[in-house]
Chains A and B, each alone.
Chain A
Amino acid sequence: MDLALTDEQKVRKQEFNDVCKELEKKKPPSYLGFETIYEYDECWEYNLYCAKEFAKRGWLALGWPPEYGGKGDMMDRVLFAEARGYYDIPGVDIFGVQMLAPTLLQAASEEIRREFLPPIARGEVMWCELWSEPNAGSDLASLSATAIKKGDEYIINGQKTWNTGAHKGDWGFGVFKTDPAARKHHNMTFILHDMKKPGITVRPIPYLDGHAPYCEVYFDDVHVPAKNIVGQEHEGWAVVNLLAGFERSGIDIIMTMIRGLEDLVKFCNETKRHGQPLARDPLIRNRLAQVACELEAARALAYRVADLQNRNEMSLMDASAGKIFFSELGERFAFLATDILGPYGQVKTSRWAPLDGLWERMFHDHFVTSVSMGTNEIQRNIIAWYGLGLPRIR
């Protein structure tokens, strides 16, 4: 067991922190977490600006092989994620940089890698994911949108939904039925397509707070070059599982919460109730301390996941456990913070809102982590079925 950083890693960590700290100063006032990049134009511009800043330092290709413009290693990626998380800086496209790039490196043809990886590394092309459908959520394999091959093209028809930022994305990666007659899990293909192609209609879905970071996407005879696939034709399910296996440790989200705790502690020290600082209230002390303990536990498990990834090992169980834990910790933390803030906890960003209205936002944004990327209930199934070998009723 050794958690020490090498001298070189310490230097890079400092660099990541310095750059993120500078970028923090340029945040638009409406920026309150990564979903806001899909909600406000100035936040999207800020996202693109941060992407360029990172790209010019090679930080969007950390851990990639050098032949695709890669730099550094997986540990750099962890340190970078910590810095971004702590200062809550966007600019690393979840879909392009974090999900698609490692999938391409592992499963795509050389031609596809050469075509799609460089624009991701340059921060030029933003991606979105098109997996879920109205009748295929947790049971993704029962999807029905089709991509039927005709000559050297696929013709896509059908509907996708809950597509984060699809209205902003330049390109999308989706799974579509390419062999409707074949059996489940062997009937779909992982396809890359231009979101600006004729026949694609994107409709934002209002989230429960009225913003619209998610979309539904309709495909009406959309033509895609047949070469734009990842993995084998009809074997897109394997690619989906591969991609899902590139679980993020969640260290960025955890660091954002750790920063949130620091700011909340400061607020409690400076804010008086009943003639004394909130921080002197034993109940508040105890509850904040509990969240602090859980945050440290979440961080320790995230390091475990990152440590495995650094050695190209995979632990679906630990990644699932980490995801369950940090997302539900996000719920508990949001409930606690809004308890402490009292009537001010419900105020949206405005002159009445303490801490810029962050906790009003967190009160509903925590679902993003518990519901997306495989619901926590699915994660529990993964631990039980694939990890512990408990029987599965079909």
Chain B
Amino acid sequence: MDLRFTETQEILKKMARDFLTTECPKTLVRKLEQSEEGYSPELWKKMAELGWMGLIIPEEYGGMGYTFQDLIVLLEEIGRNVLPGPFIATIASTFPILEVGTEEQKKELLPRIAQGELILTTALLEDEGVFDASGITVKATPKGDDFVINGTKLFVEMAHVANHIICVTRTKDGTAPEKGITLFIVDSTTPGISCEVIPTTAADKLCEVRFNNVTVPRKNILGKIDEGWPIVEMMLRKGAIAKCAESLGAIETCVEMTVAYSKERVQYDRPIGAFQALQHIIADMWTAMETSRYLIYETAWMESEGLPCAKEASMAKAYVNKAYKDVSKWAVRLHGAIATSADHDIPFYYRRSLAADIAFGGTDFHREIVAQKIGLV
């Protein structure tokens, strides 16, 4: 047992921190949140040059061939800087291509993803807003060598700038909800697709995507027809761990900023950090950070080693969801009125804690998975 980062991971971490500190100041984050695109194409290009989009893509497909654990290290740094953009959406959509994609799909997509030429996203949720298979009603109907997709997907991250959308569809009715689900890789320029950005707390460009008689060739099926739900579960599992790592970085920043501010802000002739009323809350914030950290690292290690970790991933997501909201809330409270201002940096973290909570499954969704995995009938 050795819970330290490897040398490679330390280098990756330092490189990412230096790069994001310089290239992604909060002035840029603020600008991007207000922009239509929600990301910076120049920054995206530089990230690709550093190999980030191809980090976990094998070298034979033009990637870096790093592990899932290494990705977690990078995401923690991205979370510290609240980097806006389609990074997690693209990475999460890469998971199924890596795992179940055909050789042709891999050869066509992976090198271009690694180069930063493609933005990907996944269209899962619909109007019920649930993360289980019963919520999937968007239909894909066979027509000759093609399929035709009809229906509306919601909360599709960065779909408005994505080149490809992985669309989770229903291809067969009348059986258990998990049966008859099929994933398609859909070119977002296909006629019949329209997209609208939904205004959200984190200004993270979640979209409504309407599919109106969208024709997709059969070869664009990702995985097996009617057997797509386990792929979705895999994406949710890996995505949940990835999101947790991003949240951990954000939690770290909240704790660091709060500690620093409580040392410099003077009231009653002393730094407010000298008051135990604040000290004990800060100690609890720190404890929430450390419990989150090692729960995430443990789970990421399991995922990296290919060990079954659906239970641990759901435990981590359910736990970190709450930790991030609690810690960022306390960060606002301990800063006081100043941190309720849109000009302050702490609100970035507080607003994103809600988005992070929902992404890849909310707390109760993951607790139910945990309930099943600990053996409740």
Contact = CB atoms under 8 A, between A and B. Distances in A.
Residue of B276, B293, B302, B312 with highest tally of chain A CB at under 10 A: B276
Nearest to A388: B259
Contacts of A279: 376-377
A357 B291 CA distance: 30
A248 B6 CA distance: 26
B241 to A, nearest CB: 13
Contact of A303 (B284, B294, B302): B294
A290 interface: yes
A393 B279 CA distance: 12
A286 B366 CA distance: 9
- Chain A interface size, as a band, is 35 or more
Interface of A: 1-5, 75, 261-262, 265-266, 268-269, 277, 279-280, 284-286, 288-290, 292-294, 296-298, 300-301, 303-304, 306-307, 310, 317-318, 320-321, 324-325, 377, 379-381, 383-385, 387-393
Interface stretch (B128-136, B172-180, B267-275): B267-275
10 cross-chain pairs, A with B, having the tightest CB-CB distances, nearest first: A384-B279, A300-B294, A289-B367, A380-B283, A289-B370, A285-B371, A383-B283, A391-B274, A297-B291, A321-B287
Given A3-B302, A288-B371, A304-B293, 18 more contacts: A262-B374, A265-B374, A285-B367, A286-B364, A286-B368, A289-B374, A293-B315, A297-B292, A301-B294, A306-B1, A317-B286, A320-B283, A325-B291, A384-B279, A390-B262, A390-B273, A390-B274, A391-B271
18 contacts: A2-B3, A2-B301, A5-B1, A286-B364, A286-B368, A288-B371, A296-B319, A297-B294, A298-B291, A300-B291, A300-B298, A301-B294, A381-B280, A384-B276, A384-B283, A388-B259, A389-B263, A393-B270
A3 B318 contact: no
Given A1-B2, A4-B305, A296-B315, A390 B290 contact: no
Interface string B307-347: 00000101110110000000000000000000000000000
Contact of B263 (A280, A298, A318, A390): A390
A285 B290 contact: no
Contacts of A289: 318, 367-368, 370-371, 374
A179 B171 CA distance: 84
Contacts of A3: 1, 3, 298, 301-302
B1 A307 contact: yes
Contacts of B69: 1
A280 B287 contact: no
A391 B270 contact: yes
Contact of B276 (A261, A265, A381): A381
B326 to A, nearest CB: 13
Contacts of B4: 1, 307
A96 B319 CA distance: 36
Given A285-B368, A325-B291, A383-B286, A292 B270 contact: no
Q: Is the interface of B mostly helix, strand, loop or mixed?
A: helix
Contacts of B235: none
Given A3-B301, A381-B276, A391-B271, A293 B318 contact: yes
Given A285-B367, A285-B371, A2 B1 contact: yes
Interface residues of B, number: 51
Contacts of B286: 317, 321, 383, 387-388
A339 to B, nearest CB: 16
Contacts of A301: 290-291, 294-295
Given A3-B298, A293-B318, A318-B290, A288 B1 contact: no
Nearest to A318: B290
Interface in B49-89: 69
Contact of B377 (A269, A297, A377, A379): A269
B216 to A, nearest CB: 38
Nearest to A278: B376
Contact of B319 (A285, A293, A388, A393): A293
Interface centre among A279, A286, A393 (most CB of B within 10 A): A286
Contacts of B44: none
Among the interface residues A297, A377, A389, which one has the most CB atoms of the partner chain B within 10 A?
A: A297
A387 B312 CA distance: 29
B251 to A, nearest CB: 13
